Amino acid sequence: MILNATFLSAFLGVLLVLLLPRRFEMLSRWLALLASIAGFVFACKAFAGYDQKSAQHFQYVTQIPWIKALGIQFFTQADGISLVLLVLTGIIAIAGVLFSWNVTQRPRAFFAFFLTIIAGVYGVFQSFDLFLLFVFYEIVIVPKYFLIAAWGSTNREYGAMKLTIYSVAGSALVLLVTAATYAVSGAHSFDLMVLADHAHIVFPASFQVWAFPAMFLGFAVLAGIWPFHTWAPTGHVAAPTAVSMLLAGVVMKLGSYSALRVAMTLFPQGLEQWRNVIAVLATIGILYGALVALAQRDLKFVVGYSSVNHMGFVLLGLVTLNTIGLSGAVLQMFSHGIIGGLLFAVVGRMIYDRTHTRDIATLGSMHLSKALPFAAFTFTVASVASMGLPGFSGFIAELTILSGSWKPFPLLLIPTGLGVVVTVAFTLRALQGSFFAAKADGPPDPAGHHEPFDPITLPEKLGACLLMATTLGVGLYPKILLDPIMRSFDSPLMHQLIREVASK
Amino acid sequence: MKSLDLDLLGYLHLLKVLAPEAILVVTALVVLGFGLSSSAERMRPLLTRLTLLGCLAAGAFLLIYPENAFLQNGMVVLDPIGRIFKLAILGLSFITVILSAASPVRRHFAEYLALILFSTVGMMLLAGTEDLLMIFIALELTSISLYVLTAYHKRSAASAEAGLKYFLIGGVSAAFLLFGLSFVYGVAGTMSLRELAVIAPHLANDPLMLAGIVLTLVGFGFKVAAVPFHLWAPDVYEGAPTPTAALVASGSKVAGFFILAKLLAIGFGSSVGMADWSQFRPGWLPILAIMAALSIVLGNLAALVQSNVKRLLAYSAIAHSGYMLLGLTSANVPGFTAVLFYVLVYAVTTVGAFGVVSIVERRRGGSQLQDFDGLYKTSPGLSLSLLVFLTSLAGIPPFAGFFGKFYMFSETLAASAPGTNPGMLWLVILAIALNAVSLYYYLVVLKHVFVAKPAHEIRLKAVACAPVIGALALAVLLLGIFPNVLLEPISNAVTAYTKEIAKPMQAR
């Protein structure tokens, strides 16, 4: 029940925000903040209350028959993976509201759509009925479109529609396989635990061989798998700050989480056949994302492509199929959620809303490290974390993924290692170019600004501190997340997957 | 065929079973009578209320008279599933009448309402018969009333053109249908669907029977606007007064699909055929599969380029006919249950969407996409309702349209044992792919509502039908979250019905 309280509080927030009278519409951000904090508190409480010693890997079980005609249940529970991602959602939700404190245009609709996405994301991370999971997964799509198209910036309608079309195409693949799963299994059930337990019996190999790639790809589109990543940079850039944070922070994780939880556990035989292909695509994503980011002049595009790069690590970690690599993938989902959110917060809110430019050279001419020292500090921390310096969460996550992939994909480590180097290069270039340019040698500032920028507001500082503290905390003490994650891969469900595939 | 043998008691029974229809006819006559008076214009509210009262009375009678009936060898039947559909049709007509009260139909308003009631009677008779001749007569009663309703905008050339087109194409389709039914009767020698079910297995490969089936399906293809018999739909939806379009899109579709499902399941049950990829065998299934595929592709693609929302909804209706025909290709009980559930959900959604369109049309003078610009700013409630309706049509959860589609697709796949044999997988893949495309054009409408800047800042005044539209939106949401509320009764009724017709003829 405490799990369900996470998305219920968000839905309640949506309802209350919509019911606010027009005169009090500025109250909507307080309501949204309250709803986000409530969700975060519930998620943390569930995380803290998770009994790691217990023989039950899955706790907080709620299982109610829902639609009898198809054997659909309302089935939610959580293991370490779910809990880590639920906490991530809570953090990003709070930070997202704090960084959209300055939304004055139709705030009720903005926060209603925002909280709907949050509710959907919470729902996906705890659903263990395939149908229920898909319902929550799809709830996210339409609000994303409106948030970007109505409140976004550069090329917003194009970016929004492109992102939506990619998401919907991905979901169409998932929907097809979900319907086929029901037809093929004949089990009259969408219970992921039951289906995965009997995957070998109910899903013939001839079915798995096409169902797995269709479903994995459907989910992985949302995770930004190369070559279907192109929605990510344009979408991130067009989106308003809070939505970029949501997209990079949690929505992309929906894809990778569902790929792991659904596609991989249901179709282990299909996974085995397609594993190498996915590993190669993931590696291309890592290298390609980094190289393209290196060539960008728009700071937000740099961050957008860095998402493709970091999500490549997640996908690579998933197909290592050993506990180390898989745990690294989940930790990287958390870590990139925080760091990506932080980067977009600085670029979209702290910088762009004040300077109205994101061109690296122009920014360099503005002496931002002096004009906006807090922004410069935050961006430095985020960059350092993003590069994977020890002490931050990104380091430990990428390290575990790399050590996990040593055995199954030794050859891929060369391009991956190269990708890491290029990551350092593009991050440093962006950081140095836009904040610490030695002298103002860029084109003259088009706005010709002389008046000082508005100071960084309190909500921004709070949000940034929350995210920085999280990445630092996890970097210094990764055990707090890694222990429950690694334990989750011991559950019979996952254990079977690891053994099945790795033994061959 | 047995002769009509009715004594007084029999007539009383018949009257009781058909009382809801009788109430509607009486109401229509009373309304017509009031319309003759010189002050008919001032009596608009009274006439509307009278009509609504008639619908309510008919619905109440259906609810309090739960006895089942099978009269005159199936000419008039009343069973749980029929009752659900009669109630649904009454509800849809009720909403249409409310929309009409706010419509620009000025002259001869009484006749307008009476015609709505007559077509409702036709649809209800359709939901309560198992006789080929009765099916035809009820269909014609519905259609002819709808032709007139379509052409009701006397000053509008578009309305007249739509009415004429609908009438001409509808007339041809009626001819096809009658021709087909006469073939079937000629071969089988019976009008009753249940007797046909007994005889038909011996005729499964009779070419005349197959020809009859094809012709009948062509006729129904016109009625439900399936490609390639869809040409009337866009013009009718666009040109007709909006309440008429709402009725054509909802009530007549519900009745049409209900009787089509019944006809296929019982009457033609033995000539199914096969439409698996590259394995076609004659019967009604391949015809449905082809019509479904064409409707889904053409409807969704043509909708992409529309600039008028009513026309866009027409093409979306064609696509949805395709999805429902796809559901019928499952040719089993769960699949038909899914279609019956979906057609009701679809009707509620569409009638709501047309309700929003009619309000916008009245206030802003058109139903082009530009007329929806910035609707959110002036009337947020209406815009959120439209969001619910259109996303439900696009099959996005948590709205009812999503579950309905998912249910149909799953049961269609399950019907043909995939894994060993791809069965109808090709059609389901096509449907899911184009359903993804459909989100685009719905989003374009919603973009005008939520994103575009309003051209004029007229605040839409609260209108009488706004609460009704809100309630419909709520219904679409709640049916998506708790589909059991509607699905259980339908499913139970269908199961009961299947048991009933499985009994041997003598037992009745």
- Given a cut of 90, whether residue B445 has pLDDT beyond it is yes
CA distances in angstroms from A308 to A223, A278, A289, listed in the order given: 8, 15, 5
Residues of B in contact with A68 (CB under 8 A): 484, 488
A146 vs B425, B432, B450: nearest CB: B450
Q: Which pLDDT score is estimated for B507?
A: 39
Return the pLDDT at B2.
Answer: 47
Q: What is the pLDDT of residue B301?
A: 95
Contact B439 A164 (CB under 8 A): yes
| Measured distance between the N- and C-terminal CA atoms of chain A, rounded to whole angstroms | 40
CB contact under 8 A, A168 and B491: no
Nearest CA-CA partner of A82 in A3, A197, A180:
A3
- Is pLDDT above 70 for B456? no
Total-model pTM: 0.92
A207 and B419 in contact by Cβ < 8 A?
Answer: yes
Compute the average pLDDT of residues B311-335: 92
Contact yes or no for A111/A32 (Cβ under 8 A): yes
Least trusted range by pLDDT, from B28-32, B170-174, B192-196, B258-262: B192-196
pLDDT at residue B359, as a whole number: 87
Mean pLDDT computed over B90-105: 85
What ipTM was predicted for this assembly? 0.89
Question: To probe the interface with A, which of B304, B405, B432, B449 has the most A CB atoms within 10 Å?
Answer: B432
Pairwise CB contact (< 8 Å): A180 & B435: no
Ranges of residues in chain A with a pLDDT under 70 are 438-451, 499-504
Note whether B440 contacts A165, CB cutoff 8 Å.
Answer: yes
Residue of A28, A141, A174 to mutate when probing chain B, most B C-beta within 10 A: A141
| Range of A56-65, A147-156, B132-141, B366-375 with top mean pLDDT | B132-141
CB neighbours of residue A236 within 10 Å? 30
CB-based contact, B440 to chain A, within 8 Å:
yes
What distance in Å separates the CA atoms of residue A317 and residue A311, rounded to the nearest whole number?
Answer: 10
**Cis bond upstream, residue B228 (ω within 30):** yes
Write the DSSP assignment of A112-130 as a string of letters: HHHHHHHHHHHHHHHB-BH
pLDDT at position A232: 87
Q: How many Cα atoms occupy the beta-carbon half-sphere of B448 within 13 Å?
A: 19
- List of chain A residues whose C-beta atoms are within 8 Å of the C-beta of residue B380: 109
CA distance B415 to chain A (A): 8
Give the per-residue pLDDT at A187.
Answer: 80
- In chain B, the percentage of residues whose pLDDT exceeds 90 is 53
What is the average pLDDT value for chain B, to the nearest integer? 87
- B413 has a chain A CB within 8 A of its CB: yes
> Are B267 and B205 spatial neighbours (Cβ–Cβ below 8 Å)?
no
- Distances, alpha carbon B419 to alpha carbons A205, A211, B413, in Å: 9, 11, 10
Residue of A nearest to B412 (CA): A183
Q: Do A179 and B428 touch (CB under 8 A)?
A: yes
- What pLDDT shows up at residue B508? 35
Burial zone of B432 (CB within 10 Å; 0-12 exposed, 13-18 middle, 19+ buried): buried
Distance CA A463, CA A341 (A): 10
Residue B175 in this model has a pLDDT that exceeds 60: yes
Contact A180 B425 (CB under 8 A): yes
**How close A42 comes to chain B (CA, Å)?**
23
CA distance B219 to chain A (A): 32
Spatial distance between the Cα atoms of B207 and B92, rounded to a whole number of angstroms? 40
Contact A182 B414 (CB under 8 A): yes
Q: What pLDDT sits at residue A68?
A: 87
Residue A448: its pLDDT value, please?
Answer: 52
**Is residue B446 less than 8 Å (CB to CB) from chain A?**
yes
Dihedral sign for Cα A348, A350, A356, A362, please.
negative
Closest-CA distance, A183 to chain B, in angstroms, reads 4
In the prediction, which pLDDT does B1 show?
A: 43
| Contact at CB, B410 and A176, closer than 8 angstroms | no
**Does the pLDDT of residue B428 top 80, yes or no?**
yes
Count CB neighbours of A104 within 10 A. 10
The CA-based dihedral angle spanning residues A112, A115, A116, A120, taken in that order and rounded to the nearest 10 degrees? 180
Strands (E), B270-342: 274-276, 279-281
For range B448-470, the mean pLDDT: 76
Residue B154 vs residue A164, higher pLDDT:
A164
CA closest to A139 among chain B residues = B397
pLDDT on residue B150: 92
What is the mean pLDDT of the segment spanning B350-358? 93
pLDDT at B505 over 50: no
> Are residues B93 and B52 in contact, defined by beta-carbon separation less than 8 angstroms?
no
Q: Say yes or no: B419 contacts chain A, CB-CB below 8 A.
A: yes
Short-list A325, A300, A441, A319, CA closest to A379: A300
A122-131, B38-47, B85-94, B232-241: least confident range = B38-47
B462/A contact by beta carbon, under 8 A: no
Checking if the pLDDT of B337 tops 70, the result is yes
